[in-house]
Amino acid sequence: MSSIIVASIPIHGHVAPLLTVAKRFVERGDDVRFITGARFADKVSATGATFVPLPAEADFDDRTLFEHRPERAKLKGVKALVYDFEHVFARPIKAQYDTLMAAHGARPAGAVLADPAFFGAAFLLASPRSARPAVVICGVIPLLIESVDTAPFGMGLPPARVLNRPRNIALAAVNRWVLRQANQTVDDIHRQVHGVPMPGGLGNWGGRADALVQFTVPSFEYPRSDAPSELHFVGPLSATGSQAPLPPWWADLDGSRPIKSATKLM
């Protein structure tokens, strides 16, 4: 029997796929703990895993996240993105990391399976592998690794047909400048915990994890010549047991036409 910690930020689209992962490990006979927000306590318990709550400073309800933050309601576009990186993703990292360490200290885990946006797990990587559990990113969102072949995550830009790599280098520099405050916050927290800035920043922690398991197939991602060897495409998670009706456009997917996917997160 293995001891496994699953960790996700409290957003439905991040938690739901990992509930399937947790359930399968429980069925295999493993000891599974699931760290996430209080909203998902019952759903975690239904998988057979042990629910571990995030502290208040890292917990939120994504359905009403900005109702009590009037300053956020006024923001759009890049300014909204900058605010979200700072307040939703960067500032909760210390509380996420402390929760992980407390769970691991109480009962050592062999592996932490983390949602890519649960950046507290990235802080584990500053310790030698012999002194920490394996850190596995479960790719429930588009691939979160930097590459010379792609624009920065979230821009929704396909590879350029001409001068693709110079364009991407320039965009990466712009992205770092735009998110400099959030990155500074992350570095400050990492210094507080480990005494040094966070290597590579948030955008490339997927390239440092012990494994990056992407729940899709390679053709759903842009090719990356510099993808880490730790990247594994394992196909989609099965949505077994769903009683939801198929959407009215489902019959259009009869195989007679190619399907194009576009992701834009900004």
* The pLDDT of residue 98 is above 90: yes
Among the listed residues 190, 215, 210, the one whose alpha carbon sits nearest the alpha carbon of residue 200 = 190
Note the pTM of the prediction, 2 decimals: 0.87
Instruction: Determine which of 70-79, 95-104, 221-230 has the lowest per-residue pLDDT on average.
Output: 70-79
Measuring CA to CA, which residue among 171, 209, 202 is closest to residue 185?
Answer: 202
Radius of gyration of the chain (CA): 19
pLDDT for position 132: 95
Q: Classify the C-alpha dihedral 99-62-262-157 as positive or negative.
A: negative
* Gap between the Cα atoms of 72 and 61, Å rounded: 15
Dig out the tokens for 128 from the structure.
């030698």
- At residue 242 the predicted structure's pLDDT band, cuts being 50, 70 and 90, is low
Indicate the pLDDT class of residue 260, thresholds 50, 70 and 90: low
73 — pLDDT class (breaks 50, 70, 90): confident
Are residues 141 and 213 in contact, defined by beta-carbon separation less than 8 angstroms?
no
- The 10s digit of each residue's pLDDT in 131-176 is 999 999 999 999 989 999 999 988 889 999 999 999 999 999 999 9
Q: How would you label 35-61 residue by residue, b for 16+ Cβ within 10 Å and e otherwise?
A: bbbebbeebbeebebbbbbbeeebbbe
Q: Which distant-in-sequence residues (6+ apart) come within 8 Å of 249 by Cβ?
A: none
Q: Looking at 68-72, 81-85, 136-140, 242-246, which range is the least confident one? A: 242-246
Mean pLDDT of 65-88: 86
CATH fold for the domain made of 3-252: Rossmann fold (3.40.50)
In 178-255, DSSP assigns E strands to 211-214, 231-233
Average pLDDT over residues 207-223: 93
- Cβ distance 214 to 234 under 8 Å? yes
How large a percentage of the chain has pLDDT more than 90? Answer: 73
Residue ranges covered by each domain of the chain:
3-252
CA 3 to chain centre: 21
Cα distance between residue 202 and residue 180, in whole Å: 11
